[in-house]
Structure 1
Amino acid sequence: MAWTHYQKILAILMVVTGSFNTLSVKYADKLKSPGQDGEPRAFNHPFMQSAFMFLGEMMCLLVFKIAFCYYNRQANGSVETNTLTKGSRTFNPLILAIPALCDTIATSIMYVGLTMTYASSFQMLRGSVIVFTGILSVGFLERKLGFQKWSGIGLVIVGLLVVGLADFITMKDSKQDTNSVITGDLLIICAQVITATQMVVEEKYVTTRDIPALQAIGWEGLFGFLAISLAMIPLNYMQVPYPFSDNPRGTLEDTIDAFVQIKNNGRLLMAIIGIMFSIAFFNFAGISVTKELSATTRMILDSVRTLVIWAFSLAFMWQEFHYLQLFGFAFLITGMCLYNDVVIPQLARKCIARLFRHRPPPQAQERIVSTAADDVENS
């Protein structure tokens, strides 16, 4: 079935804004700006970045309210048919609180990991969510995974190991830097356990309700922002060593220092604004793609996003190329396709169908053999 113009726009919007979001976060990590002590240093504030991300998601709720009021005033039924507002609005927003809390924890951990590793590895390692989602779905959704899905999970695990090995080999600096990269990779993988929990909870309690995309993102953003804001109070007093912190106070987060750094660097401010707006558009496009097309289409587009981030990182020399990355990416994509029953299984079934289509039935094969034998005897 051919895609509509709206669906094409959603697909492009998801790839562009998703890539821009990850690159904006990494760009902010690489920028140096004077802090409270006047010394220029990298912007190492992953929890503040998470807060800005949820603030961007909160804007979706405002956009939804404006769109709802506008189309509702027209009184022509467009509020029920417009893509921005259609859906059920009779639900308890608290059902989004648990997914939002999971998102808060997972995003914060991932952003800590991103400060230590490469943007492309960050995106590739996020594919490990399939492994944990599959395992949790067996335990909590009572699903039975067949050979194909377990094969996909196995290939994803192999791909993760190859990506981690590539990161280890390409690090040619000090031992501390090598440890930082591996630690960052492990943190990103650990965060996927929480992301998988979020997906299982959403599938069990949220996806059955036809909640408008903007409204769902907005409520999750609100709950997430409240959660990370409360969490940052103790984080501002928690002493940690480098590389988890390099602010003057040596704490896991320093909110005032983060605002001072943003104030002293215009490019850093633009990166933060980019994080806020890109995550809002990306989440809206992602949920809309799932509703308009399918979850497998969303997975494929997310893989395209990984390629864009990887190409950008190589082009701007944010990382060095290593051939193992190609193999790791290939294993990850193949595993994802097998798990989601898309592209590769379909091609395999078509090849098998063609093979049996051109092969004569057993009775015809027996007649062919007997005819050939008679011809031999007559000759």
Structure 2
Amino acid sequence: MAWTKYQLFLAGLMLTTGSINTLSAKWADMFSANGCKDSPEHTFSHPFVQAVGMFLGELSCLAVFHMLLCHDRRRPEPKMNTGQSFNPLLFLPPALCDMTATSIMYVALNMTSASSFQMLRGAVIIFTGLLSVAFLGRRLVASQWTGILVTILGLIVVGLADFMSGHKDDSHKLSEVITGDLLIIMAQVIAAVQMVLEEKFVYKHDVHPLRAVGTEGFFGFFILSLLLIPFFYIPVGSFSNNPRHVLEDALDAFCQIGHNPMIILALLGNTVSIAFFNFAGISVTKEISATTRMVLDSLRTVVIWVVSLALGWEQFHGLQVLGFIVLLVGAALYNGLHRPLLARIPCCASMVEEEEEGNPAERTRLLDEGRVQEES
């Protein structure tokens, strides 16, 4: 079935804003400027300030939700499904997970390349699958277990690529690259906990996606903004790159922005792009399919990689190509992208049907995407 112009627009918007989100965050990390009290010029290393900006972008989704709701109510026959009433505190646990995972990832982005950052985020498949089995009682089919194993292999290949390129990288020490990669994988454990919490406690209340994202953004923005105060006084030694070597020096961040206004452009790019990315992602799932959303999310890794190479932010490494391909295969197997292809092969069609019937959760997902017909 051919896509409509609106569907093409949504796919393009998701791919573009998703790529800008990571690239703008990395761009901000590459700026240098003087800090407060005429401190020497130093790189903009403020991951928690960047995380606050990202949550501000998510919070804006709540404003968009209410704008759409007001517009819908003016119609003669309102069509917007606002979902059930719910306690906003329901979103606090996943918001805390989101806040922790995002902050760790922005710390890691200071230490490694943008492309490796995006590729290693694929590790979330492993932990989401394992946690869903342990806490949601889900039964993974053979292809999903295979996808998890292939993803682990892909992570090893990307890690080896970073290890080998770390010896030649002038911008990052090898120890920093390895630490950054490990932090990204650690963050995916927390992100997986967030997804399991959302599925167990949030989605069953039929909350509108924009409202869900916005509510989590609300908690993340205000809690992390308050935490910037104690972070200002917590010494962390050489682990931090700000002049005072504290966990986060928000004042130094604002002083650097004052000395180099281009930094605010990068931060705004991150904030605005995350808002549009969430909107586009939700719309792609609704208008096209969840599988298409996964494919576009994989494609933005390619965009980030190509742009980083073109701008000279990182060097080409053949192992990264192999790692990305392996990760892509792992994600495809886990998300069932192989099934439509196998279903066309007579000898494999029955195997695909048995796999779908043996996994009720997978069948529900396919029904939502319109790939199988509900029996009357």
Give the TM-score, by structure 2 length.
0.87
Aligned to 2:4: 4
For residues 225-273 of structure 1, what are the alpha-carbon distances to aligned partners after superposition, in whole Å with 9 as ceiling and x for unaligned? 122123323221221133x312221101001111111121121011111
1:144 to 1:69, Cα distance in 2 relative to 1, 3 A:
closer
Is 2:334 aligned against 1:333?
A: no
CA shift for structure 1 position 349: 3.9
1:245 aligns with 2:240: yes
CA shift in 2, pair 1:208/1:325, >3 Å: same
- Match in the other structure for 2:251: 256
Structure 1, residues 244-303: CA drift from partner, whole Å, max 9, x if none?
312221101001111111121121011111111001111111122223333322111100
| Shift, 1:92, TM fit | 2.3
Percent of aligned pairs with the same amino acid? 54
- Counterpart-to-counterpart distance in 2, 1:190 and 1:102: 12
Q: Give, as a single letter, the amino acid of the residue that structure 1 aligns with 2:52.
A: A
1:260 and 1:220 map into 2 onto residues whose CA distance is 29
| Residue 3 to residue 173, structure 1, CA distance change in 2 (3 Å) | closer
Counterpart in the other structure of 2:356: none
2:268 to 260, 265, 273: 273
Q: Deviations over 1:315-336 (max 9, x none)?
A: 1111111110111001100001
Query: Which amino acid is 2:215 matched to?
Result: W
By how many angstroms is 1:355 displaced? 10
- The range that moved more, 41-50 or 345-354, is 345-354
State the Cα deviation string for residues 13-39 of structure 1 (Å, max 9, x = none): 111001001000000000111111422
Deviations 1:119-162 (A, max 9, x none): 00000000000000011011001112222111110110010010
**Structure 2: runs of 5 or more not aligned:** 351-376
**Residues 250 and 205 of structure 1: is their aligned pair in 2 closer, same or farther, counting only changes over 3 Å?**
same
- The 8 Å contact of residues 166 and 325 in structure 1, kept in 2 or not, is answered as yes
SS in 1 for 2:33: strand
- 1:188 and 2:184 are equivalent in the alignment: yes
1:289 aligned partner: 284
CA contact (8 A) 1:17 1:282 kept: yes
Question: In 1, are the aligned partners of 2:26 and 2:109 still within 8 Å (CA)?
Answer: yes
Q: Distance in 1 between matches of 2:172 and 2:76?
A: 64
Residue identity in the other structure for 1:67: L
Q: Which runs of 5 or more structure 1 residues have no equivalent in the other structure?
A: 357-379
SS of 2:244's partner is coil
1:347, distance to aligned residue in structure 2 (A): 2.2
Change in CA separation of 1:232 and 1:257 when aligned onto 2, cut-off 3 Å: same
Say whether the 8 Å CA contact 2:342–2:349 is kept in structure 1: no
Q: Secondary structure at the match of 2:111?
A: coil
Q: Distance in 1 between matches of 2:7 and 2:160?
A: 38
Alignment CA distance shift 1:203-1:324 (3 Å): same
Give a deviation string over 1:73-100, Cα, whole Å, max 9, x none: x24124x24xxxx432522222222211
Distance change in 2, residues 1:150/1:355 (3 Å): closer
Q: 2:340: which partner in 1?
A: 346
Give yes or no for contact 1:37–1:248 (8 Å, CA) kept in 2: no
For 1:359, the equivalent position in structure 2 comes to none
Q: 2:91 aligns with which of 87, 96, 102?
A: 96
Please say which structure displays the higher CA radius of gyration.
Answer: 1
In structure 1, distance between residues paired with 2:283 and 2:197: 19
The residue type equivalent to 1:119 in the other structure is A
Are 1:31 and 2:27 counterparts? Answer: no
Residue in 2 that maps onto 1:212: 208
SS at match of 1:207: helix
* TM-score normalised by the chain length of structure 1: 0.87
**Distance of aligned partners of 1:266 and 1:3 in 2 relative to their CA distance in 1, 3 Å threshold:** same
Amino acid at match of 1:346: P
1:217 and 1:284 in contact (8 A); partners too: no
Q: C-alpha separation between the residues in 1 aligned to 2:259 and 2:77?
A: 49
- Show the counterpart of 1:48: 49
Counterpart of 1:170 in structure 2 is 165
CA distance in structure 2 between the partners assigned to 1:228 and 1:183 by the alignment: 23
Kept in 2, the 8 Å contact 1:166–1:322? The answer is yes
What is the aligned length? 348
The residue matched to 2:237 in structure 1 has which SS? Answer: coil
